[in-house]
C-alpha cells in the first residue's frame, strides 16, 4: 500500500482535498457549483492514471538530457552554479524554470499540432481544484521537462529544484480552484484563480476559431496578441 501511495501521490491528493474542498464551499467563486460537478470522475481518473506515465516520461527525459548536456556544458559552469548560495540558486531556478514553462505553454497555444494535445486541458467548463489534473500526459511531460531540464543540466541544487516543483504543484491546484481570489497588481507576475477563470473561456473561443480556419503558425502568433488584448480589456493584463 505504501508503494502505491508513493507512486500515485495519494497523500498529496487527500491533503489537497482537505484544504480546497472546505475553502471552495466557504469562499467559492461559484458557490452553487456542486461538489461532485460534471466530469469529476473523469478528472479523478486523470489524477491517478497520469501519475505513473508522467513520472516515467520525466525520468526518461532527465536521463537522456543529462547524458547529452554533460558532454556539451563545461564542468566548471556546473560547479560554479552549484557553489552559489541556496537563496541565489532558488531565485535563478524560479526564473529559469518559469521561462521554460512560459515558452512551452505559448507553443502549445500557437502550434496547431500541440494545441490538439493542450485543448484537453481547456475542455474544463467548471473550475475546481480537481480540474488541474485534466491534462494530456505528453503535455505535462514536455512542459515540466522544459521547466526542469535546464535546471538539472546546469547543476542547480536538487533542493532548489524541489522547492520550485513543490510551489508549482500547489500553485497549479490553486490556479484552477473555484476560489474568488485575485492578486491585484501582482497578477502581472503571479496568475490567480480569478485571472485564470476569466481568461480560459476566451482563450478557447479564439483557439477554436483558429483550428476551424486552419490558419498558419505565423497567423497563430498574430492572433495571440488578441488574447493579450482580451486580458487588457478585462483588467487582467
Average pLDDT of the chain?
80
Can you read off the three cell numbers belonging to residue 111?
Answer: 502550434
Most confident range, picked from 47-51, 56-60, 158-162, 189-193: 158-162
pLDDT greater than 50 at residue 205: no
Q: Please report, for residues 38, 141, 147, 154, the alpha-carbon distance to residue 104 in angstroms, rounded to integers and kept in the order given.
A: 29, 11, 9, 19
Closest alpha carbon to 207 in 123, 84, 151, 147: 123
pLDDT greater than 60 at residue 171: yes
**pLDDT at residue 5, rounded to an integer:** 41
- Please work out, in degrees rounded to the nearest 5, the angle formed at the alpha carbon of residue 12 by the alpha carbons of 8 and 18: 135
How many other C-beta atoms can be found within 10 angstroms of the C-beta atom of residue 197? 21
**3 state SS of 48:** helix
All residues at 6 or more sequence positions from 186 whose CB lies less than 8 Å from its CB, including other chains = 192
Cα(145)–Cα(65) distance, rounded to whole angstroms? Answer: 10
Q: Mean pLDDT, to the nearest integer, of 66-85?
A: 82
Residue 28 phi, psi (nearest 5):
-70, 145
Q: Mean pLDDT, to the nearest integer, of 174-200?
A: 81
Total length of the chain: 237
Which string of DSSP letters, residue by residue, matches 151-208?
A: HHHTT--HHHHHHHHHHHHHHHHHHHSSB----GGGGGTS--HHHHHHHHHHHHHHHH
**Predicted model pTM:** 0.75
Amino acid at each position: 500500500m505504501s508503494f502505491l501511495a508513493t507512486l500515485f501521490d495519494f497523500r498529496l491528493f487527500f491533503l489537497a482535498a482537505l484544504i480546497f474542498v472546505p475553502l471552495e464551499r466557504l469562499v467559492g467563486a461559484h458557490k452553487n457549483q456542486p461538489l461532485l460537478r460534471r466530469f469529476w470522475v473523469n478528472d479523478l481518473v486523470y489524477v491517478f492514471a497520469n501519475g505513473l506515465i508522467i513520472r516515467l516520461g520525466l525520468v526518461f527525459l532527465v536521463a537522456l538530457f543529462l547524458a547529452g548536456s554533460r558532454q556539451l556544458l563545461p564542468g566548471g559552469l556546473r560547479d560554479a552554479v552549484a557553489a552559489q548560495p541556496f537563496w541565489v540558486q532558488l531565485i535563478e531556478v524560479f526564473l529559469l524554470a518559469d521561462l521554460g514553462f512560459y515558452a512551452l505553454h505559448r507553443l502549445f497555444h500557437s502550434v496547431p499540432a500541440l494545441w490538439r494535445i493542450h485543448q484537453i486541458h481547456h475542455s474544463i467548463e467548471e473550475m475546481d481544484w480537481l480540474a488541474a489534473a485534466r491534462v494530456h500526459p505528453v503535455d505535462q511531460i514536455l512542459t515540466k521537462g522544459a521547466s526542469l531540464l535546464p535546471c538539472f543540466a546546469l547543476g542547480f541544487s536538487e533542493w532548489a529544484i524541489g522547492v520550485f516543483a513543490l510551489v508549482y504543484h500547489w500553485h497549479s491546484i490553486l490556479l484552477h480552484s473555484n476560489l474568488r481570489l485575485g492578486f491585484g497588481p501582482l497578477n502581472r507576475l503571479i496568475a490567480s484563480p480569478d485571472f485564470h477563470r476569466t481568461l480560459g473561456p476566451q482563450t478557447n473561443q479564439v483557439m477554436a476559431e483558429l483550428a476551424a480556419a486552419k490558419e498558419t503558425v505565423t497567423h497563430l502568433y498574430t492572433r495571440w496578441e488578441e488574447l493579450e488584448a482580451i486580458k487588457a480589456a478585462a483588467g487582467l493584463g
